[in-house]
């Protein structure tokens, strides 16, 4: 691993932050923190922490000696001075004389000594940073360091690799006791450049930001070299069937198994994130994957995000997914049972009884295929998948030079149920459509774009589909979803788009079948090709989309909602508008057929009957022409309804959202047309 230190960059940081009132110490602390945070082999998702001891002014203008240490909720990769709250150093140093300090008292004294009372909570490893005397201190959970220290004889391996250059701290959970122990061990050999915290990570320190950082790089490089020596050929492959099913077929099954019923036909769903590649396949296909994958997390604080172990599934075969589902169900049940037993085994020795967390795994390993991260959002599923990939790398290297080992189950429990770790997760109330994946066709148009926004506002994960992928990307930008190219008139393109959605998010819960276009012509004269073209888009495409979605919804077994954009033409034909109205009328029947045939599976089908919306189907030129033909102004034409109000794309979007959320409504048509008595259904 190479040092990325650059004098020029360091000067740039000092100049940039001087303008914002931060001193050079803090600016350099930000600079090297970002260097560490930018490399996933060192730091992943909020892992690791850094500090600098410096001087700041309090309100009275007096110099105060402070520790600026990473604050909770910040990531080293994009940290700012605000992410390094300043804590008065002297009161922290006096704490070392105490015999014991509870977590609550520790948090309280840290917060009580913040220079800025609105700053985030200082890191749970603040006291370790305080008790060591160095100006700059860096802490990471480096993959290479973990690979050599996560071994039954990890301390001996590290002693061999580092000689006397690094101190050695046996595993103790973070907090006051670890801080005291690390400081004592440091004082016994004050020449060391850092400390190895066994089965946890590494601290390096120095008088300057560069020294602490480069000691980290040097130590990790030594560990990397050790991992290249005398490697065993790892992971003899298990014999697997050669007809492995696809991730798109497997994801909805797993997503259904991971969903927990919360009563009243409602589900607490998970979002999935599929990963594969040579390293992952080497790991999940290994004959001994049942051993090395089930030992535990590579560093304790991973377990709050991915639990202690993943579920290990059988290899799925195409054409035999029923058998896979049965076996996978048993695997998930066994995971839940084991988790309950684990909780009951360790809860009784806690000072205050804990409340058991959910029984859902966060990582699923699928031999022949790869792995899935699971979470309550695409972001947390991605974090789980990233940590799982990091685990693959750490354990693969550990097994190459020895045998992977980690902290005890009791130690893992203490971290998983540690109040200070749970606080990192921050649980707010969820929005109504949180954890639900909505696929929207025609997402690039005015109604599609408004619909994407409306669903995202309700917490849904938006998969935006459009024949123009860039238009779909624009619709979903800033919403945290994803865009997929899809020609809805080509069933292969529809299947492919839904397969991509399954790989990206695990499945689909709501479909807004919205894509459409208008054709006209007097019915006795119209060219047959025009009529067929319109049927392709305004009827058969709805069928292809619904078919693809229902197949996924059935695999999930957690119901679903289909919402179709039909038109007032479906019930109130306009003159010369047969080519548009006829397929829309067929689509209205299609809605009812889906409601009828799939209601028993919890799949609802409803329609929105919108009219006269400013969009690609009714652009400014068309509005002008129609207004002129009727001898009214454009404004009067657009508000020519019972309410005398123009109907907006957002109104249609709200109707889609309402129907997606209405648990007891199916086979309904909701008009969004400002009132058109000739098109009123009932």
Catalytic residues: 580
Instruction: Tell the smallest beta-carbon distance from residue 46 to Zn ion (Å).
Output: 11
Query: What minimum distance in Å lies between the beta carbon of 139 and Zn ion?
Result: 6
Per-residue binder mask for Zn ion (CB under 5 A), 198-217, x = binder: ---x----------------
CB 125 → Zn ion: shortest distance, Å? 6
Measured from the CB atom, the residue of 140 and 569 that comes closer to Zn ion is 140
For residues 138 and 503, which CB has a smaller minimum distance to Zn ion in the complex?
Answer: 138
**Measured from the CB atom, is 124 or 388 closer to Zn ion?**
124
Structure tokens at 608: 């929105």
The angle that helices 491-505 and 541-556 make with each other, rounded to 10 degrees, is 30
Answer yes or no: are the C-beta atoms of 590 and 632 closer than 8 Å: no
The answer to whether 368 contacts Zn ion (rule: CB under 5 A) is no
CA distance 629 to 609: 24
Tokens at 440, concatenated: 């929207």
Tokens standing for residue 166 = 């690094």
Judged by CB, which is closer to Zn ion: 103, or 458? 103
Q: Return the number of the residue (201 or 674) whose C-beta is nearest Zn ion.
A: 201
Stretch that binds Zn ion, among 195-203, 372-380, 476-484, 529-537 (CB under 5 A): 195-203
- Evaluate whether 251 touches 372 at the Cβ level (below 8 Å): yes
Residues in region 212-271 near Zn ion by CB under 5 A: none
Q: Smallest distance from the beta carbon of 1 to Zn ion, in angstroms? A: 19
Q: How far apart are CA 377 and CA 537, in angstroms?
A: 32
Q: Give the up-direction half-sphere exposure of residue 329: CA atoms within 13 A in the CB hemisphere.
A: 10
SS3 call for 520? coil
Calpha distance 512→528 (Å, rounded): 29
Q: Among residues 300 and 559, whose Cβ is nearest to Zn ion?
A: 300
Are 550 and 560 in contact by the 8 Å Cβ rule? The answer is yes
Q: Among 253, 95, 290, 125, which Cα is nearest to 200's? A: 125
| Strand 461-466 relative to strand 482-485, pairing | parallel
Task: Supply the minimum distance, in Å, between the C-beta of residue 659 and Zn ion.
Answer: 48
Contact by Cβ (8 Å): 32, 213: yes
Q: What's the distance, CA 223 to chain centroid?
A: 31
Task: Locate the DSSP E strands across 319-459.
Answer: 363-366, 370-375, 437-440
Please give the distance of CA 246 from its chain centroid, rounded to a whole number.
Answer: 22
> 201 or 560, CB closer to Zn ion?
201
Find the angle CA(380)-CA(499)-CA(323) to the nearest 5 degrees.
90
Contacts of 230 (CB under 8 A, 6+ apart): 401
State the nearest-atom distance from the C-beta of 87 to Zn ion, in Å.
18
Residue 544 near residue 588 (C-beta atoms within 8 A): no
In the complex with Zn ion, the residue whose CB is nearer, 201 or 516, is: 201
CB 41, min distance to Zn ion, A = 15
Q: How far is the CB of 383 from Zn ion (least distance, A)?
A: 16
How far apart are the C-alpha atoms of 603 and 593, rounded to whole Å?
Answer: 12
Largest separation between any pair of C-alpha atoms in the chain? 98
Both tokens assigned to 100? 């014991």
Least CB distance from residue 93 to Zn ion, whole Å? 21
Binding status of residue 37 toward Zn ion by CB under 5 A: no
Provide the token pair at 127: 């006291």
Q: How far is the CB of 123 from Zn ion (least distance, A)?
A: 9
Q: Work out how close the CB of 201 gets to Zn ion at its nearest, in angstroms, rounded to a whole number.
A: 5
Q: Which residue is nearest to Zn ion (CB)?
A: 201
559 binds Zn ion (CB under 5 A): no
Instruction: Give whichever of 371 and 420 is closer to Zn ion, judged by the CB atom.
Output: 420
Residue (128 or 563) nearer to Zn ion, CB: 128
Where would I find the beta strands (DSSP E) of 455-570? 461-466, 482-485, 510-513, 560-567
Number of residues that bind Zn ion (CB under 5 A): 1
Q: How far is the CB of 211 from Zn ion (least distance, A)?
A: 21
Whose Cβ is closer to Zn ion: residue 201's or residue 310's?
Answer: 201
**616, 620, 625, 631: CA torsion to nearest 10:** 130
Per DSSP, 70 falls in state: P
Half-sphere exposure for 397 (CA within 13 Å, toward CB): 23
Cβ nearer to Zn ion, comparing 372 with 417: 417
Does 194 sit near Zn ion (CB under 5 A)?
Answer: no
Q: Which residues in 350-489 belong to E strands, given as ranges?
A: 363-366, 370-375, 437-440, 461-466, 482-485
Q: Please tell me the total number of residues recorded for the chain in this structure.
A: 682
- Residue 38: name the closest of 216, 242, 295 by CA: 216
DSSP category for residue 468? S
Tokens for 37?
């945070």
Dist. CA 404–CA 196, nearest whole Å: 17
Query: Measured between alpha carbons, how far is 364 from 542 in angstroms, rounded to an integer?
Result: 33
Binding footprint of Zn ion on the chain (CB under 5 A): 201
């Amino acid at each position: 691993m190479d040092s990325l230190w650059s004098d020029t960059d360091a000067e740039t940081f000092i100049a940039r932050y001087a303008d914002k009132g931060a001193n050079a110490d803090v600016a350099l602390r930000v600079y090297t923190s970002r260097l560490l945070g930018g490399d996933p082999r060192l730091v992943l998702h909020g892992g690791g922490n850094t500090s600098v001891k410096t001087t700041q002014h309090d309100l009275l203008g007096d110099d105060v000696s402070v520790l600026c240490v990473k604050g909770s909720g910040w990531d080293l990769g994009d940290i700012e001075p605000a992410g390094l709250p300043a804590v008065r150093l002297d009161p922290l140093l006096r704490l070392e004389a105490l015999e014991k300090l509870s977590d609550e008292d520790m948090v309280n004294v840290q917060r009580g000594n913040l220079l800025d009372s609105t700053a985030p909570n200082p890191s749970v490893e603040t006291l370790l940073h305080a008790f060591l005397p160095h100006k700059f201190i860096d802490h990471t959970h480096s993959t290479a360091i973990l690979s050599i220290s996560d071994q039954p004889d990890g301390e001996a391996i590290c002693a061999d690799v580092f000689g006397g250059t690094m101190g050695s701290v046996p595993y103790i959970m973070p907090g006051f006791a670890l801080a005291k122990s690390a400081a004592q061990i440091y004082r016994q050999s004050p020449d060391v450049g850092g400390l190895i915290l066994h089965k946890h990570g590494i601290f390096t320190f120095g008088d300057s930001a560069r020294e602490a950082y480069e000691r980290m790089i040097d130590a990790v490089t030594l560990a990397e070299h050790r991992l290249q020596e005398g490697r065993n050929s790892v992971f003899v492959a298990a014999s697997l069937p050669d007809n492995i099913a696809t991730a798109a077929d497997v994801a909805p099954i797993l997503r259904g198994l991971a969903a927990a019923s919360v009563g009243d036909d409602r589900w607490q769903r998970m979002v999935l994130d599929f990963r594969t590649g040579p390293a992952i396949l080497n790991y999940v296909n290994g004959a001994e994957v049942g051993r090395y994958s089930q030992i535990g997390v590579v560093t304790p604080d991973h377990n709050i995000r991915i639990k202690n172990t993943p579920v290990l599934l059988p290899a799925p075969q195409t054409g035999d997914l029923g058998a896979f589902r049965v076996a996978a169900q048993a695997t998930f049940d066994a995971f839940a049972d084991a988790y309950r037993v684990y909780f009951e085994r360790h809860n009784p020795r806690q000072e205050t009884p804990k409340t058991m967390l959910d029984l859902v795994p966060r990582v699923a390993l699928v031999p022949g295929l790869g792995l899935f991260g699971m979470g309550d959002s695409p972001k947390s599923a991605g974090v789980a998948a990233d940590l799982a990939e990091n685990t693959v790398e750490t354990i693969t290297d550990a097994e190459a030079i020895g045998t992977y080992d980690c902290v005890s189950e009791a130690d893992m429990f203490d971290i998983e149920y540690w109040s200070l770790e749970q606080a990192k997760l921050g649980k707010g109330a969820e929005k109504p459509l949180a954890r639900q994946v909505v696929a929207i066709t025609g997402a690039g148009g005015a109604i599609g774009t408004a619909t994407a926004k409306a669903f995202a506002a309700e917490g849904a994960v938006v998969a935006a589909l459009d024949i123009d992928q860039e238009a779909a990307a624009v619709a979903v930008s800033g919403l945290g979803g994803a865009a997929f190219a899809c020609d809805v008139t080509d069933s292969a393109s529809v299947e492919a788009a839904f397969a991509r959605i399954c790989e990206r998010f695990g499945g689909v819960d709501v479909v807004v079948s919205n894509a459409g276009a208008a054709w006209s012509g007097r019915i006795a004269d119209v060219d047959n090709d025009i009529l067929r073209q319109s049927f392709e888009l305004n009827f058969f495409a709805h069928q292809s989309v619904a078919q693809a979605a229902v197949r996924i919804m059935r695999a999930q077994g957690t119901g679903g909602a289909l919402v179709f954009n039909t038109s007032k033409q479906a019930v109130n034909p306009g003159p010369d508008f047969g080519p548009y109205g006829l397929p829309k009328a067929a689509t209205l029947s299609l809605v009812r057929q889906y409601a009828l045939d799939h209601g028993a599976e919890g799949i609802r089908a409803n329609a929105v009957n919108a009219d006269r919306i400013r969009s690609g189907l009714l652009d400014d030129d068309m509005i002008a022409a129609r207004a002129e033909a009727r001898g009214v102004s454009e404004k009067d034409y657009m508000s020519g309804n019972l309410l005398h109000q123009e109907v907006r794309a957002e109104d249609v979007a709200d109707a889609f959202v309402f129907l997606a959320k209405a648990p007891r409504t199916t086979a309904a048509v909701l008009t969004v047309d400002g009132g058109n008595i000739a098109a009123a259904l009932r």
